[in-house]
Amino acid sequence: MNRLFKLNELRSLSHYSQSAGGLRTITTCSSLIGKHSIVSSSHSSLVPSHSVRNFRSSSRSKYEIAPPINWGIRIVPEKRAFVIHRFGKYHRTLDSGIHFLIPIVDKIAFVHSLKEVVVDMPNQSVFTKDNVRIEIEGAIYLKVEDYKRASYGSEHPFDASITLAQDITRSVIANLSLDKTLSERENLNDRIVRELNDSCKQEYGLKCIRCVIKKITPPEKVKESMELQADAERKKRVKILDSEGEKEAAINKAEGEREAAFLAAEGELARADATSKGLALVSQSLKEIGGLEAASLKVAEQYVDAFGNRIRILS
């Protein structure tokens, strides 16, 4: 667009080329335009590119923060840390607050967030100890602890941590069977965190707060067999519960019959005891004076009553 604008200016000035003044004007304008183009091209070549100022490659990770330009006075926000270079060498780290820097001499090389960052682990295929291929997906929670190591340990420390976490996950699951992988997810998360911290702290200045295995997907055939196994287990539990119910019912019935027989026997025994006690009292009464006459009178009364009832029935 600038070149087209300059050409239009030259064409408009060509109408005055008949006079010497117009020729001098064209010569002067063209020389000025040439000087301006030279200065602008040299100036654009001296301006540093965005990647040089940020001390990172142009393909910056989404977890990294672009450093701002040093204007002499810089306010660092809360939960941020600025790594300062002086003459291309590490000088100091700025915490939150207002700071005074020397332009051109001091340069903000790296900016780190002190907050906890959630980094997704992409879906990957892993083989268990019993040679079952599963798809696993998770996330790790990282936090910057050492600013110098996070700045100079790796070009992209968060991406390197993701790759390392995936490798550790494959190694850990390779020593576990499918059943343990599915049932011991908490232990799996703890092991990944421990092994990841052993490497990340020393190499990249990052600390892994926690690891979360979000999804474990076995193959379709394995899922079908697991569903059949679960169905068989459910049917087995139903049969066991039914048999236990029948057993309890039979036991309760037998105990009820035994208690009924025991109570019936106790009733017969009590009746016999009462009868024997009554006979003993009768015999004792007969032995006393006048006892025999009383017994004869009682028998006669019963005979009369029975005879009277018989007569009424026949009549």
* pLDDT tens sequence across 274-294: 777 766 776 666 666 666 666
* pLDDT tens sequence across 43-75: 333 333 333 334 444 456 777 788 888 888 989
Q: Is the dihedral of CA 184, 190, 194, 196 positive or negative?
A: positive
Using CA atoms, how far residue 14 sits from 33, 37, 133, 301, in Å, is 15, 20, 79, 168
Asked if residue 81 lies in contact with residue 108, where contact means CB atoms within 8 angstroms, the answer is: no
Residue 295: what pLDDT?
64
CA angle 293-298-303, nearest 5°? 125
Max mean pLDDT among 42-46, 194-198, 254-258, 261-265 falls in 194-198
Beta bridge partner(s), residue 124: 136
Q: Is the dihedral of CA 308, 309, 313, 314 positive or negative?
A: negative
Q: What is the dihedral of CA 59, 64, 67, 73, to 10 degrees?
A: 170
* pLDDT tens sequence across 107-134: 999 999 888 889 998 888 888 888 888 8
For the cut 80, the answer to whether the pLDDT of residue 76 exceeds it is yes
Angle between helices 157-173 and 185-203 (to 10 degrees): 140
Q: Domain 117-218 has what CATH class?
A: alpha beta
Asked if residue 130 lies in contact with residue 83, where contact means CB atoms within 8 angstroms, the answer is: no
Q: Residue 54 carries which side chain, given as an amino acid letter?
A: N
Using CA atoms, how far residue 222 sits from 23, 112, 291, in Å, is 89, 45, 98
b/e sequence 231-253, b meaning 16+ C-beta within 10 Å: eeeeeeeeeeeeeeeeeeeeeee
Dist. CA 197–CA 140, nearest whole Å: 11
Beta bridge partner(s), residue 207: 143
Residue 48: what pLDDT?
38
Domain ranges of the chain: 2-46, 52-113, 117-218
How confident is residue 199, by pLDDT bands cut at 50, 70 and 90? confident
* pLDDT tens sequence across 4-38: 444 444 444 443 343 334 433 333 333 433 443 33
Mean pLDDT of all residues in 222-245: 78
Per DSSP, the three-state class of 209 is strand
Residue 283: what pLDDT?
67
Residues in Cβ contact with 295 at an 8 Å cutoff, skipping those fewer than 6 apart? 282, 285, 286
Query: By percentage, how much of the chain surpasses pLDDT 70?
Result: 73
Using CA atoms, how far residue 164 sits from 32, 88, 94, 142, in Å, is 59, 30, 29, 13
Per DSSP, the three-state class of 16 is helix
Q: Of 24-38, 180-194, 295-309, where does mean pLDDT reach its minimum? A: 24-38
What is the phi/psi pair of residue 41, to 5°? -65, -40
Confidence (pTM): 0.54
Dist. CA 98–CA 94, nearest whole Å: 9
What is the phi/psi pair of residue 132, to 5°? -110, 125
